[in-house]
Amino acid sequence: MRAEALDVTGRVDILINNAAIGTFGATAAIPEADFDACYALNVKAPFYLVGALAPAMVARGRGVIVNVTTMVASFGTAGSAVYASSKAALNHLTKCWAAKFGPQGIRVNAVAPGPTLTENAKAAFGEDGLTKMMRQAPARRVATPDEIAETIAYLASDQASFIHGAILPADGGRTAT
């Protein structure tokens, strides 16, 4: 994987870990295979991607890693134990990697979106369900995918050059309430 990325681009400037499986349900009802799949994609994949690609960034003395987590990683919600804990693990990895790679010129941060109007979220919760989730947020609305992408782009940009180890909520203020 590392060799392929370097063969195509010649270098690695930015890594965005933006894949997830949303495994939801009662703890006793989650099959072990679903638990394992969630942790494999949400924790293990970013862990090994960083392990594979960070050395090339370190060699250049420059790079950015942005992990995409979730607002529910910072508070408990019924039925989200597997998904939320996997993203909480990614939040912690973000801080560990920031401490490890920051002195070597690599910035590592995360974006923690709230409900976002994506096709997957609409299929899982419906637009009404997403809207209900955000009634407690000061913004009183669901995010657009573009708003989350702009937050990621900001953290990847030089404008965020002094931000290291942050978990930036992009949740319409939901975690502020």
Cα–Cα distance measured from residue 52 to residue 147, given in angstroms and rounded to the nearest whole number: 29
Residue listed under structure tokens 């607002």:
71
Count helices and strands (H / E) in the chain.
Answer: 6, 4
- Lookup: tokens for 46: 């970013």
For residue 157, which amino acid is it? S
Whether 83 is catalytic is: yes
Q: Which of 39, 48, 83, 154 is catalytic?
A: 83
> 79 and 72 in contact (C-beta within 8 Å)?
no
Q: What residues act catalytically? A: 83
